[in-house]
Amino acid sequence: MFRPLTIVTYAAMRQYVDAFVKPDGLRFLIIVGPPGVGKTTFLRALCPDAPVITGAVSPVKCFCRLWELRECPWFAFDDVDRLFRHPEFINIFKCLCQTEDEHLLCWDKFSNALRDNGVPQSFCTRGRTLIFANKIGVVEENAGAMLDRAICCRFDPSPREIHREVADWFHIPEVYDFVDQHIGVIARLSMRHYVKAAELERNGLDWQAYLLHEWEIRPSASLAMQLVQNATLSPAERLRSFDTLALSDWREGMTA
């Protein structure tokens, strides 16, 4: 089974993306990681106008887009897991991942989309390729031979690493601090959690309940953690609070 290189910090991941976008950089890079960890933010930070093709396009539209970008030194594909299930898309990538500097792309059958957009059925490009995917299994199952030609990294930052990275751009203290209070027990954290919580907070909705639901943390457990971290409470006050919380949790369990 293919084993990509595991990277767990944003600093290390930036080094790989930077090595790709620079002139004469990496020829073929695949970055695999769960959604919500900000994989494409590296690219947007380095190149705000980066030519990115998303997985929402059809294979023939992807071919047309590559024709438009044929003079670009490189291009990126984001969220392409679904496209890897299409034979036409796999054929496109087989051409792009060839080791030669110039790649010949061909569309073997007639297409109204090509005709309507003035796209030839074959053309050449020298562009290098960057792929962002969510699951390496999808790529390996449908286009395993490509992996041997690529530098493949599995990006797997911990919740604490994501939390530190978010601090650079997320500036709503009450939401950030709430995440910080629970960071030690969050199994899966997404940057989208911060954005959605901020949206709920802005509209007067219960953003804390949303986050606890996403993290699968019971409200009583959340209150217990906040009590432990509250330095203003005396030991006696903290004990009374825990007794009240335990009684409430017991009643909740009896009525469930």
Give the three-state DSSP class for 241: helix
Q: For the chain, which residues make up each domain, given as ranges?
A: 5-155, 159-255
Of the candidates 63, 81, 70, 68, the one whose C-alpha atom is nearest the C-alpha of residue 131 is 81
The one-digit pLDDT tens for each residue of the chain (256 residues) are 567 889 999 999 999 999 998 988 999 998 988 889 988 887 777 777 788 888 778 888 889 999 999 999 998 888 777 777 778 888 888 888 887 889 999 998 888 889 998 999 999 999 999 988 887 766 666 566 677 788 889 999 999 999 999 999 999 999 999 999 899 889 899 999 999 999 999 999 999 999 999 998 876 666 555 555 655 656 665 555 555 555 445 444 434 4
Q: Which two tokens stand for residue 98?
A: 């060839």
- Which CATH fold would you assign to the domain 5-155? Rossmann fold (3.40.50)
Of the candidates 65, 1, 51, the one whose C-alpha atom is nearest the C-alpha of residue 21 is 51
Q: Which residues of 175-190 are buried (b: 16+ CB within 10 A; e: fewer)?
A: bbebbeebeeebeebb
E runs forming strands in the chain: 5-7, 28-32, 52-54, 74-78, 103-106, 122-125, 128-133, 151-155
